[in-house]
A and B are shown apart, each in its own frame.
Chain A
């Protein structure tokens, strides 16, 4: 540690550059002033959110948060409200402002409750505590390893060490369950910073009672237990390995005021928290759009030719481009959609994918391929449209600062990382930016890449079919359906929280909510998979129907979501046919559907009338929302080209 401490200035500098994928603000103080001079509070909020998209240091983060607090806004269209409580065993007060600022970066208005110093157990367990009054939607536990294992002597036997670890994990389980049950909150558990000093040196890894080994094992067991409790992880331990412990922990600050997370690292801490919160709410990016020349390979293929570009073998620069391709391929394998947006001759660009021996990415890995001479923002709109996802789901990677600036200016919702000057740093920069943060890895994620390839085949089939009807008939579609099963929990939760378009109510549900629907049996839950001759589209639609407490034979469509990948396939009609039959078996005589408009769900604005519902004249609490009713006795099944395969009996 002494070697690092002797150069604390360099550490400070490194910490200030932690968030280097974000562009520098041109003039922070001027921009902040101008933001606050805008006419309406909504305009001021939008301006502050734009400013939050920039690289902000320690002081800038505090100033932006101060300005946000002065706006006194409560609800603004386009922004979601989140109540988060951070509970710590050390000082965590300095983390609230960075969490709010990083939330603002994602259009989240975060209200943060900071637990009293070291009082996390009492606050959680005492139902009269301020925490219970606050009633958080998210509980973030930011604890120190010292609190858990400090009493273990280095002479402890393996059994003694195990017993202490077991007790520490058991206590965490109690706290998690309490937070989940008392508030129905999503719990985020931070991994323990491994602040233990080397005692034996490398041999620490071997000694049961060595503090460094204890903390490492505690983290391993913590992550396993968390996963079993549907608790999300904030992996600060891993992050500090990447940045160096001294970027996160400053002994002076610990001694001065029990700050385990160094204040200068707090802006990055806020970013890490907001990523997990964003991932829970379906705000993570979905698609990586790559430039070609000097991004996927070195050189300009139009000038240098297929043989002249720098890629792979024999060149360090060529290997750096291969490394970026490998990383993109790994992202594809975990469910991120890949696209290309390049100023190029399309035939020449495609030829590289087909014929260059060092290409890691194949043409079939790319779900949308735009190589032409058009403006890049236009092409990005084409890509979003083609993939049926929002522009705010795109990350655009381009080595050219002018193209990046152009896209940022015309499409501010597209994420555009500042790429480093050195191609060797491309992968690290993209990875550190954390655009694709996830809280689950589902079978659908694993298959997504193949599903987009299958979609391309479907598009070809559609082009060659004489009519839409003939195309749909030729797809040989089957729907497999049944009530929610425990095994579907992750995917159903993911679908409910990530679906913005086919989602009439945009109600978000935590994994606990969904498992409760599954357990009580009071409500009717249905999940649907769509299979056709090109492949399995996976679990693509889910519905929750709840009997009205006052009129039990009136079933309210509480939640209905469908993946954008299967729009235009008549699935919504078959889903309604199935839902009506299943609900009749439960004694339902009428359905009620509600449409609550958002910026993104226009596609379902006419859904209920199209399916045969008529307008419910009763007024609704939400402005702009409309209610729709259908009497099941009058329901005539809708004709579709989809066959049925019930998975298990419904009803």
Chain B
């Protein structure tokens, strides 16, 4: 999967979770940039992404993702295997 494909899937998940089709994530989007992306919605986003891609983020990651790009890169790495 390319970064853009993963980013697209993440965008759809967040649009669903926040009921907001206008959300357009980029690799540099941060949580504060998206209205209503509160801590519960963040956990839901992480869980939904894990289910979608069949990956499990280490706790260190979920605590410190700096932007959406970091999530995308981590998904890519986890999907590639150890």
Chain A: residues with CB nearer than 8 A to chain B? 8-9, 12-13, 16, 57-59, 62-63, 66, 93-94, 251-253, 255-257, 259, 263-264
Are A59 and B16 in touch, CB under 8 angstroms? yes
B1 at the interface (CB under 8 A from A): no
> How many angstroms between the C-alpha atoms of A9 and B47 in the bound complex?
12
Please judge, given known A-B contacts A94-B44, A259-B43, A263-B44, whether A12 and B51 are in contact too, CB under 8 Å: yes
Are B48 and A58 in touch, CB under 8 angstroms? yes
In addition to A9-B56, A13-B54, A94-B40, 18 A-B residue pairs with Cβ atoms within 8 Å of each other are: A8-B56, A9-B55, A12-B50, A12-B56, A58-B51, A59-B13, A59-B48, A62-B17, A66-B19, A94-B44, A252-B58, A253-B43, A255-B59, A256-B63, A257-B39, A257-B40, A263-B47, A264-B47
B residues within 8 A CB of A264? 47, 50-51
> How many angstroms between the C-alpha atoms of A319 and B32 in the bound complex?
60
> How many angstroms between the C-alpha atoms of A333 and B56 in the bound complex?
45
B residues within 8 A CB of A93? 40
10 contacts between A and B (CB under 8 A): A12-B56, A16-B51, A58-B48, A58-B51, A93-B40, A94-B40, A94-B43, A252-B58, A256-B62, A257-B43
B57 at the interface (CB under 8 A from A): yes
Nearest B residue to A254 via CB reads: B59
Nearest B residue to A256 via CB reads: B62
Are B62 and A252 in touch, CB under 8 angstroms? yes
Nearest B residue to A257 via CB reads: B43
> How many angstroms between the C-alpha atoms of A245 and B74 in the bound complex?
27
Chain B nearest Cβ from A203, distance in angstroms:
30
Nearest A residue to B13 via CB reads: A59
> How many angstroms between the C-alpha atoms of A198 and B60 in the bound complex?
24
Chain A nearest Cβ from B57, distance in angstroms:
7
Are A57 and B51 in touch, CB under 8 angstroms? yes
Interface size on B, residues (CB 8 A): 20
> How many angstroms between the C-alpha atoms of A57 and B48 in the bound complex?
9
Chain A nearest Cβ from B19, distance in angstroms:
6
Q: Which of B17, B47, B55 is the most central at the interface, judged by chain A CB atoms within 10 Å of its CB?
A: B47
B residues within 8 A CB of A263? 43-44, 47
Nearest B residue to A15 via CB reads: B51
A residues within 8 A CB of B62? 252, 256
Chain A nearest Cβ from B49, distance in angstroms:
10
Q: Is the interface of A mostly helix, strand, loop or mixed?
A: helix
A residues within 8 A CB of B51? 12, 16, 57-59, 264
Nearest B residue to A13 via CB reads: B54
Chain B nearest Cβ from A61, distance in angstroms:
11
B residues within 8 A CB of A251? 59
Contact among A59, A63, A66, A256 for B59, CB-based, below 8 A: A256
> How many angstroms between the C-alpha atoms of A255 and B19 in the bound complex?
27
Are A252 and B39 in touch, CB under 8 angstroms? no
Against A, the Cβ 8 Å flags (1 = close, 0 = not) of B13-51 are: 100110100000000000000000001100110011011
Contact among B13, B16, B17, B59 for A252, CB-based, below 8 A: B59
> How many angstroms between the C-alpha atoms of A197 and B29 in the bound complex?
39
Q: Which 4 A-B pairs have the closest CB atoms?
A: A8-B56, A263-B47, A59-B48, A252-B59
> How many angstroms between the C-alpha atoms of A8 and B55 in the bound complex?
8
Nearest B residue to A29 via CB reads: B16
A residues within 8 A CB of B63? 256
Chain A nearest Cβ from B42, distance in angstroms:
9
B residues within 8 A CB of A59? 13, 16-17, 48, 51
Nearest A residue to B58 via CB reads: A252
B residues within 8 A CB of A66? 19
Are A12 and B39 in touch, CB under 8 angstroms? no
> How many angstroms between the C-alpha atoms of A8 and B16 in the bound complex?
25
B residues within 8 A CB of A63? 16
B residues within 8 A CB of A9? 54-56
> How many angstroms between the C-alpha atoms of A252 and B47 in the bound complex?
11
Nearest A residue to B55 via CB reads: A9
A residues within 8 A CB of B39? 257
> How many angstroms between the C-alpha atoms of A256 and B58 in the bound complex?
11
> How many angstroms between the C-alpha atoms of A9 and B56 in the bound complex?
7
> How many angstroms between the C-alpha atoms of A264 and B46 in the bound complex?
11
> How many angstroms between the C-alpha atoms of A114 and B65 in the bound complex?
29
> How many angstroms between the C-alpha atoms of A34 and B15 in the bound complex?
19
Nearest B residue to A264 via CB reads: B47
Are A58 and B19 in touch, CB under 8 angstroms? no
Nearest B residue to A251 via CB reads: B59
Chain B nearest Cβ from A261, distance in angstroms:
12
> How many angstroms between the C-alpha atoms of A81 and B17 in the bound complex?
26
Chain A nearest Cβ from B43, distance in angstroms:
6
Nearest A residue to B61 via CB reads: A252
> How many angstroms between the C-alpha atoms of A257 and B56 in the bound complex?
16
Nearest A residue to B16 via CB reads: A63
A residues within 8 A CB of B43? 94, 253, 256-257, 259, 263
> How many angstroms between the C-alpha atoms of A16 and B58 in the bound complex?
20
A residues within 8 A CB of B56? 8-9, 12, 252
Q: Which of A59, A251, A255, A264 is the most central at the interface, judged by chain B CB atoms within 10 Å of its CB?
A: A59
A residues within 8 A CB of B57? 252
B residues within 8 A CB of A252? 56-59, 62
Chain B nearest Cβ from A93, distance in angstroms:
6
B residues within 8 A CB of A8? 56
Chain B nearest Cβ from A97, distance in angstroms:
9
Chain A nearest Cβ from B68, distance in angstroms:
18
Are B59 and A62 in touch, CB under 8 angstroms? no
> How many angstroms between the C-alpha atoms of A393 and B50 in the bound complex?
38
> How many angstroms between the C-alpha atoms of A63 and B13 in the bound complex?
10
Chain B nearest Cβ from A1, distance in angstroms:
14
Are A58 and B47 in touch, CB under 8 angstroms? yes
> How many angstroms between the C-alpha atoms of A251 and B56 in the bound complex?
12
Please judge, given known A-B contacts A252-B57, A252-B62, A256-B59, whether A62 and B40 are in contact too, CB under 8 Å: no
